[in-house]
Structure 1
Amino acid sequence: MANQVEQGLIKPLYDAMQKERFVTLATIDHQTGGPNVSAISWVLAKDENTIYFAVDNRSRIIENINKNNLVVINIIANESTYSIQGEARVKEERMNEVPLKLALVEVTIKEVRDVMFYGSKIVQEVQYEKTYDKNAAEKLDRQVMDAMKKA
């Protein structure tokens, strides 16, 4: 059912965000003041009110959040599309247990909205594969997700 609004993650969304997955992140561009959308995959629901994600600490995403902390995470899960609005802050400038220079960002959820258009459902979720060394990618993914779970 479309247009449902929650104050936190419903269980199917929380469960879907317990592993790496494709989501988009909207921030306010620090230079133009317009919207900026990025695709990310290192995302984890810490609890029903908090989401963590990891990105390169030199990313435009970090610059945008430092200037304006309002964000929207868009996720396709539970046969629908959800817009998760919140306030972001850089929790760790550099994640210690990860070999890349990644920042850990914490999002405090303000609203979760089912934004799927009326009378429809998602029948197949987005799938992707890493295009670099598969073993190295799997190792890095494990390191990042484990570090976020410990944070």
Structure 2
Amino acid sequence: MANRIEPKLIPELFDELQTERFVTVATVDYETGGPSVNAISWVIASDEETVVFAVDRRSKIVENVKYNHLVVINLIANESTYSISGEARILKERLENVPLKLSLIRVCIHEVKDVMFYGSKISTEPGYEKTYDEKAADRLDRQVIEAMKNSVDN
């Protein structure tokens, strides 16, 4: 499926973005005008044309999006690597019902492109472990994802 371009998420990617997972987000640095890449995990697809993610409201991502709405989310899934480009807007400055001060950002998808190099596939997707209290991490993750879904539904 190398270099396949779609206007929205294909069903397999939509399914992959229904739970917390590792992705990177590229924005335009508002101070330098250069690229800025961050790893995040609180990201979900609300529909095939929209992705939302939560980040600390002090994150540089928030300021970058205020100055330049264009973003790219890099997702490794479905044995490939995808570039999900779109226009980001701050949906909520402060996500409610979570103990952290998080902002919720909505990305309206313009293009989903398979960017895996020719003749290859991903054999192992990246994994990660939370380095703080496992029960607290699970509780926080559930709270954030639920708050994200509730915010999008309203």
**Under a length normalisation based on structure 2, what TM-score does the superposition of the two structures give?**
0.97
Task: Find out whether 1:32 has 2:36 as its counterpart.
Answer: no
Give the structure 2 partner of residue 57 of structure 1: 57
Give me the whole-angstrom Cα distance separating, in 1, the residues matched to 2:5 and 2:38: 24
Deviation per residue, 1:96-117 (Å, 9 max, x gap):
1111000000000000000000
Deviation at 1:146, TM superposition (A): 0.6
Percent of aligned positions that are identical: 64
Q: What letter is aligned with 1:113?
A: K
The runs of at least 4 consecutive aligned structure 1 residues that moved more than 6 Å come to none
Aligned residue pairs total: 151
Give me the whole-angstrom Cα distance separating, in 1, the residues matched to 2:98 and 2:105: 14
* Paired residues for 1:122-133 under 5 Å: 122-133=122-133
Q: SS in structure 2 opposite 1:31? A: coil
Give me the whole-angstrom Cα distance separating, in 2, the residues matched to 1:8 and 1:76: 16
* Paired residues for 1:1-150 under 5 Å: 1-150=1-150
Q: What letter is aligned with 1:17?
A: L
Structure 1: runs of 5+ lacking an equivalent: none
Give me the whole-angstrom Cα distance separating, in 2, the residues matched to 1:97 and 1:87: 26
**Under a length normalisation based on structure 1, what TM-score does the superposition of the two structures give?**
0.99
Give me the whole-angstrom Cα distance separating, in 1, the residues matched to 2:48 and 2:116: 21
Q: What letter is aligned with 1:10?
A: I
Structure 2: runs of 5+ lacking an equivalent: none
